[in-house]
Structure 1
Amino acid sequence: MDADADEITSLVGREVYSNNGVFVGEVEDIQLNLNAEAVTGLALTELNADLFAAQMTGQKGVIVPYRWVRAVGDIILINDVVERYEGDDADSEIAV
């Protein structure tokens, strides 16, 4: 289990980009479901002001669902965050 914990904590501090190449933010923390032993979300800070300026009202960051993650390497790629965030179901997808 220690190897899994090391992998999870290694996500903190990585930059997150949409698969379109747009910078989204930086991973500040990880949201976990302890019962299922699974990562459920990424808490992002240092957000791209162009993406979130209209919705940010003194908030420090957002939590994006982990199911959006496409790839993890030196950076983290997520699915089309711009389109999802600006869409009709934005409130149900990203927690601000």
Structure 2
Amino acid sequence: MDGTPQEITSLVGREVYSNNGVFVGEIEDVQLNLDAQQVTNLAVGELNDELFSSTVSPGEGVLIPYRWVRAVGDVVLINSTIERLKEPEEAEEAAV
């Protein structure tokens, strides 16, 4: 448990990718549940415009539930669920 705070702060600045290899954004902060002593959410900014342009204003970020995280290394891998935010119908309408 001695290394936990250092490990948590080391998440900040890491890039987040879906497990399909799509860039999602960069971790700016970490939300904690102090009672349970666990990470609950990742605050992600520098977002991939293709995924978030229809749902998030430029310069804003999103909270990604930590339960979506599949692996933490040089980058953080999350479930591909995030890619479903971009609806195919919306993409086609925007192109017209």
Which TM-score applies when normalising by structure 1? 0.83
CA RMSD of aligned residues (A): 1.4
Count the aligned residue pairs.
86
- How far apart, in 1, do the equivalents of 2:86 and 2:40 lie? 21
Q: Runs of at least 4 residues of structure 1 off by over 2 A? A: none
- How far apart, in 2, do the equivalents of 1:42 and 1:48 lie? 15
What percentage of residue pairs aligned between the two structures are identical? Answer: 62
SS of the residue 2:40 aligns to: strand
Q: Contact between 2:52 and 2:86, CA under 8 Å: does it hold in 1? A: no
Distance 1:50 1:86, change over 3 A: closer
Gaps of 5+ in 1: 88-96
Which TM-score applies when normalising by structure 2? 0.83
- How far apart, in 2, do the equivalents of 1:61 and 1:55 lie? 10
Gaps of 5+ in 2: 88-96
- How far apart, in 1, do the equivalents of 2:20 and 2:53 lie? 19
Where in structure 2 are the equivalents of 1:68-87 lying within 5 Å? 68-80=68-80, 81-83=82-84, 85-86=85-86
SS of the residue 1:7 aligns to: helix
- How far apart, in 2, do the equivalents of 1:51 and 1:2 lie? 37
For 1:19-77, what per-residue CA distance to the aligned partner results, in whole angstroms no more than 9, with x for missing partners? 01000000000010011000001000000000000011355100000000000000000
- How far apart, in 1, do the equivalents of 2:58 and 2:34 lie? 29
- How far apart, in 1, do the equivalents of 2:58 and 2:16 lie? 21
